[in-house]
Amino acid sequence: MTLRQTYQKGKMLLEKAGIETPAFDAVCLFEKVFGMDRQKLMIHGMEPAEEAHAAAYWELCEMRAQGRPLQYILGEWPFMDFTLCVGEGVLVPREETELLVYTAAERLRVGSGAKGPWKGVDLCGGSGAVAIGLASLLPGLEISCAELYADAFRFLEANVRRLASKAVHPARLDVLSPESAAPFSGLDLVVSNPPYVEAGVIAGLQKEVQQEPRTALDGGEDGLVFYRAIAQLWVPRLKPGGVAAVEIGEEQAQAVTELFQEAGVREIEVRKDFNGLDRVVVGCFYPGP
């Protein structure tokens, strides 16, 4: 069997399983096993495929067809201009979350000068995508990355080591605990992509999403549990003029804006993602009446 035929068999398997992007997924899995991207496959497609490699490729396609997230099979996924280690127990970084990083960095530069120094905290940090992304954009930033769960924390530490991000400091913290917030003060930035899916909705999510950790998805009955904690416990740790920025679900802008306003956040802006959906709420903290 040729390389092209091997690839086509895997793609057909994904098509029959109803995978949304069968060609893309098949190419990614083919490259993982054979070390060939789409261009090389086109050039060398008529060459024979090694049987062991073909079997390994089809096995990965079968895993994907059964609903295992592509990112977990690959073991890594791009975010901004770097690549993160991912796997079971950690939320897969989404392209939409890049908007949170760029928005927070932009507001921080505008509010307190272009060079820093700044100190911040990334809450519910997961793989470290947001904290590492911010550190890459803001050389003057020192940021703690808070993550409670052991599996996700393992990926966070691995990504910080892998990307040599000395400005990112992993911390095992419960974002919902007042004791976790107490040691922080005078922050320039509080940023978070927290769990925000309503608990009752999770069972109806895509099969792939349901394989991601529930702890990274479940925002409580109304999806707002973590936003309340951020507003009540963490926003007050900002210094006057400090920036608060969070990713939100598409119908949460008003509720999160109101929580922020009650906490003393002003100059609030809602940013839309590339699909035109509300995705980020950002503002500056000014304590007082």
pLDDT per position as a tens digit, 149-196 = 999 999 999 999 999 778 999 999 999 999 999 999 999 999 999 999
Mean pLDDT of 37-59: 91
pLDDT digits (tens, 9 = 90+) for 7-24: 999 999 999 999 999 999
**Alpha-carbon dihedral sign for residues 271, 116, 192, 275:** positive
Query: For residues 147-180, b (16+ Cβ closer than 10 Å) or e, as one string?
Result: bbbeebbbbbbbbbebbebebbbbbebebbeeeb
21 secondary structure, DSSP code: S
Go through the chain and tell me how many residues it has.
289
Give the architecture (CATH level 2) of 77-285.
Answer: 3-Layer(aba) Sandwich (3.40)
Residue 289 has pLDDT above 80, yes or no: no
Residue 112 has pLDDT above 70, yes or no: no
Annotate 129-196 with DSSP letters as a single string. HHHHHHHHH-TTEEEEEE---HHHHHHHHHHHHHTT-TTEEEE---TT-HHHHTT--SEEEEEE----
Domain boundaries, the chain: 3-66, 77-285
